[in-house]
Amino acid sequence: TRRITVHDIAAAKARGEKWPMLTAYDAMTASVFDEAGIPVLLVGDSMGNCHLGYETTVPVTLDEITMLSAAVVRGTSRALVVADLPFGSYQEGPVQALRTAMRLVKDAGVGAVKLEGGERSHEQIRLLVDSGIPVMGHIGLTPQSVNTLGYRVQGRGDEAAHQLLRDAKAVQDAGAFAIVLELIPGELATEVTRSLHIPTVGIGAGVDCDAQVLVYTDMVGLTPGRTPRFTKQYMNLRESLGNAAKAFAGEVVGGAFPAEEHTFH
Ligand code: KIV
Ligand code: NA
């Protein structure tokens, strides 16, 4: 088997096929999703919230993303692995972005990178693509800008909608192979999807996007507390893990574990 490439992604769009993307942050979880046939795995900077215990994605470092990306690459054989460029690792300009992306490609072995921003990130995307690194764009709600945007629906109102369309075009024109649309009205996502030839990957962006992405900890019900309305929980892993831990604890305290079959003589 060979890895999925950006050419396979373009071919899926040409055939009108929708595809799923999930985040992954470790080798074992990634191997489960790879075996389940998920074609694209994102080592998102959502690892900040999910795996590293930060409140936002803002503090996530390049060392952290590189280490977990390498684990996801090692755990998979088929999926295209895409790594997020963390906050502060590409905003200074195209050369900084290239240095960051090169580290992820060479040290972690990812097949593509993702960075936030439309028109403002155009030059960064262009240099990476010209240098041979496939880029996924990300517009709408861009969590690295939480301190200016907050966490609310983007692209509402004529002016914001037009800017979002310009941002989408800028990402495509810079050479990106796909673009994430996060938390925008479904109608606007439909319009963006119709106006681009590269696939749109929706999260809180309605049903008409070419692909859909979920943060896997939301998807499996591991995320504590309330999750946003646009996510969907396909199982309650938090409850299952908690029950397994309680069962283990009870058997240790009660002397039922280890049993004879777990014991060497
Ligand atoms: O970091 C992340 O998980 C993401 C997806 C939500 C697109 O950027
Ligand atoms: Na992200």
Q: Tell me how far apart the alpha carbons of residues 196 and 165 are, in angstroms, rounded to a whole number.
A: 9
Whether 1 has a pLDDT exceeding 80, the answer reads no
Domain containing 253 equals 237-265
Instruction: Say yes or no: CB of residue 204 within 6 Å of ligand 1.
Output: no
Helices and strands of the chain, counted as H and E runs: 11, 8
| Mean pLDDT on 149-157 | 94
Residue with tokens 């507390």: 225
250, 221: one domain:
no
Q: What is the pLDDT of residues 9-38, one digit of tens each?
A: 999 999 999 999 999 999 999 999 999 999
Instruction: Say yes or no: CB of residue 104 within 6 Å of ligand 1.
Output: no
Per-residue pLDDT, 19:
98
Q: What is the pLDDT of residues 89-107, one digit of tens each?
A: 999 999 999 999 999 999 9
| Mean pLDDT on 186-211 | 98
Annotation marks residue 239 as catalytic: no
Q: What is the pLDDT of residues 53-64, one digit of tens each?
A: 999 999 999 999
**Marked catalytic residue, from 92, 159, 182, 239:** 182
* % the chain with pLDDT above 70: 100
Q: What is the SS3 assignment for 21-78?
A: EEECCCHHHHHHHHHCCCCEEEECCCHHHHCCCCCCCCCCCHHHHHHHHHHHHHCCCC
Give the ligand 1 atom nearest the CA of 23.
3
- By CB atoms closer than 10 A (0-12, 13-18, 19+), residue 78 is middle
The count of residues in the chain is: 265
245, 224: one domain:
no
* 116, 124 contact by CB (below 8 A): no
Q: Tell me how far apart the alpha carbons of residues 117 and 38 are, in angstroms, rounded to a whole number.
A: 26
- For residue 157, give the CATH number of its domain: 3.20.20.60
262, 143: one domain:
no
Structure tokens at 198: 């590269």
* % the chain with pLDDT above 90: 98
43, 162: one domain:
yes
Q: Tell me how far apart the alpha carbons of residues 129 and 177 are, in angstroms, rounded to a whole number.
A: 9
Which residue's CA is the closest to the ligand 1 atom numbered 2?
Answer: 44
Structure tokens at 23: 């985040």
* 90, 133 contact by CB (below 8 A): no
